[in-house]
Amino acid sequence: MRYLLLITLATVLVCGGCSDDSSGGSDSGTTDTDTDVDTDTDTDTDTESDSDSDTDTSTEMVVFFQFDSCDGITPDLMGTGFDAMLFGNATCGASDSLSTALGTSWSSGTALSCDGNGDYAEAKDDPLFEPKQFTISAWIYFIDCVNSTSDHWCSIVSKGSSDTSPVGYWFFTTGENSPRLRLSIAGGSNAAETILTGTTVAIPETWNHAVATFDGTTAAVYLNGVLDGSIAVVHDVTYADETFLIGKFTNRPFDFNGYIEEVALWNYAKSSDEVTELYESYVGGPDGGVDAGSDAG
């Protein structure tokens, strides 16, 4: 009789890629030359199959920064260990808190507070922050972003660069207070970037829910649960060694001026309905918002 031992080891490595390693072993044995012929014809045909395929289809929240506490660092509530360091005069400020604005008690009374001049939060470079598809979600309360170029751009979340060969993603608001997402791929003459700008004007000095998604072929931006624009993207997104920044973009003076709260990154693109549901969950009661205990949020 043969015994088949099936060992399935499924390991999900977020952002650096996913692999499903399966190996099976069987006792090949040696030919029995004993003249006493074994006539045991075991016909055990166990039809139980392993439903685990070699294609990983997991979708999950990668990191979640709620800014509940900031003592020079704010923890990632997903427990990855990639906590965010605070720089400049960035603090966890209680003024104009999101929980007060929404009239609910689910959120802390603090948010990342930035003055638009070198204040931001940063998590170190890691493939975790480099998904091929993604959803970025954040609540923002911007005052104004005046910088040396007078563009009044406010960086929300970025993992990229605008230098010689632009790479990565950059989610920010424009001088017209509309959400904008820029996606870039490096590659010399094949370098390309796609810029999507929403049409809705966010109201300064009040809380707005901003979301950006990319599913590998289409980029979209949302404001307060409503699709604000989408565009076809004919290239991938490539990354370099830039860090994951909240309130800042690498080597550019577009620092955020105001408050940022509930920053989440997923490794898949939420649908329009899912984004609306996420927004409505925040404004719907004390149990709403992102659930750090759930992969999908």
pLDDT at 188: 58
For 121-159, the pLDDT digits (tens) are: 999 999 999 999 999 999 999 887 766 555 678 899 999
Of residues 146, 188, 140, the one with CA closest to residue 166: 188
Least confident of 18-27, 137-146, 263-272: 18-27
CA distance readout (Å), 269 to 50, 60, 200: 28, 10, 21
In the DSSP assignment, the letter for residue 289 is S
The pLDDT, as a whole number, for residue 1 is 38
**Chain centroid to CA 264:** 6
- The mean pLDDT value for 231-237 works out to 91
| Residue 284, pLDDT score | 75
Residue 201, amino acid:
V
* Burial class, 169, CB count within 10 angstroms (exposed 0-12 / middle 13-18 / buried 19+): buried
DSSP string, 21-37: EEEEE---------SS-
Higher pLDDT, 174 or 103: 174
Cα torsion 88, 91, 158, 229: sign: negative
Residue 11 has pLDDT above 80, yes or no: no
Coil, helix or strand for 286?
Answer: coil
Which pLDDT does position 51 carry in this prediction? 38
User: E strands along the chain, which residues?
Assistant: 5-11, 19-25, 61-65, 73-74, 84-87, 91-93, 111-115, 120-123, 134-142, 154-161, 167-173, 179-185, 192-197, 208-214, 218-223, 226-232, 244-246, 257-266
12, 54, 268, 292 from 59: Cα distances, Å:
10, 15, 6, 14
Q: pLDDT confidence of 288, banded at 50, 70, 90?
A: low
Write the pLDDT tens digit of every residue in 179-217. Answer: 999 998 876 556 788 999 999 888 888 899 999 999 999
Report which of 28, 13, 24 is spatially closest to residue 49, judged by C-alpha positions: 24
Q: Residue 104: its pLDDT value, please?
A: 63
Residue 28 has, within 13 A of its CA and on its CB side, a CA count of 2
Report percent pLDDT > 90 for the chain: 37
Task: State if pTM tops 0.85.
Answer: no
The pLDDT value recorded for residue 295 is 44
Among 66-75, 144-153, 201-210, 264-273, which range has the highest average pLDDT? 264-273
Distance CA 65, CA 84 (A): 8
User: With pLDDT > 70 as the criterion, what percentage of the chain qualifies?
Assistant: 69
Q: What are the structural domains of the chain?
A: 61-284 (2.60.120.200)
**pLDDT at residue 75 is higher than 60:** yes
pLDDT-wise least confident of 57-66, 81-90, 185-194, 218-227: 185-194
